[in-house]
Structure 1
């Protein structure tokens, strides 16, 4: 489902125009925060398919046993590389643990100070990110108008599933003209 309405928490931004290079080439970004403003608010997201070279043990090592494969730290984006964000799926949606803030469905932000001894009984899946993707007020709206992103709703498998091929899988799921982008190849004669 394509979104033509307002940018909102829980939406995915799927990069268009592959092959141009740059940080966001073929990325899928989950919007985790949106500040409302008449001209378009500030927006914060996390890249779901860019893995970091930072060793897992260097960032929230207590989370390692519950991290969804691949057990790696992900780059949330090129902004604020000292910020750590954890996304998690609670063991019970009926009584989610304190320190968990819902983004969409069973996906939420986990307080990184959550007691490590309670992690295994509170969450079934975790993913850890360093850095953020962020847009100042009106910036993301401008990028959407220029056609830099497609939008769709996030699913749990987008966050906690295999990051390899995520860009293509999300585009195929969106279907229609947008879905055709999933067949893009580095050889221009094949596109």
Structure 2
């Protein structure tokens, strides 16, 4: 998937650490107006988490031991429609040279943290933490097809995207910082027929 020919809507390739921003053509309501961080891409498909869908459920109600490490809002986020009975954590390290046990880097100091790792072993190394219930998954070639059909913009991520306190505005924030005409898309209404 990562080796496909870039299209007119691409800024970057679909690789771990890239963002997928739903375009108006997105037909799946699970992903309408979403920003997805890609975590893994290989010949078997792709995996990521939706960054801007907070749930009403407090982290403390499900993961009491992690409650003091998550930032505002202190809720679980809906990472996607797959595996919603499981959880995945994204963490930002204080020092990239001091990665703790259970941490797998994705983008610089940002990576996936195994929630089975004892909190006291990782707490000193972490600057930020967010926990997601479920994830987004695509089979072989599926994500490349969706990008080719105009369902997603593919853009570079910044680690702070994961921890944005204003998740409702994340789509616009990400598009606004893109080069050229793509920045104009940050002003479009959610329903393009209203334009």
Instruction: Report the TM-score when normalising by structure 1.
Output: 0.88
Count, aligned residues:
186
Following TM superposition, the consecutive aligned residue runs of length 4 or more in structure 1 with deviations greater than 6 angstroms are: 18-21
Question: Counterparts in 2 of 1:5-154, with a 5 A limit?
Answer: 6-17=13-24, 22-35=29-42, 37=43, 41-154=44-157
Q: How far 1:54 moved relative to its partner?
A: 2.8
After superposition, the C-alpha distances for 1:161-190 in whole angstroms (9 at most, x for unaligned) are 222300000011113222111111257676
CA contact 1:79–1:132 (8 Å) conserved in 2: yes
Contiguous gaps of at least 5 residues in structure 2? 1-8
Q: How far 1:118 moved relative to its partner?
A: 2.9
Instruction: Report the TM-score when normalising by structure 2.
Output: 0.87
Instruction: Find the aligned partners of 2:25 and 2:169 in 1 and give their Cα distance.
Output: 13
1:178 aligned residue (173, 182, 186): 182
CA contact 2:24–2:191 (8 Å) conserved in 1: no
After superposition, the C-alpha distances for 1:130-187 in whole angstroms (9 at most, x for unaligned) are 0010000011011011000001111121011222300000011113222111111257
Contiguous gaps of at least 5 residues in structure 1? none
After superposition, the C-alpha distances for 1:7-56 in whole angstroms (9 at most, x for unaligned) are 21000000000796712111000001112x2xxx4100000000123332
Please name the residue that 2:161 is paired with.
Answer: 158
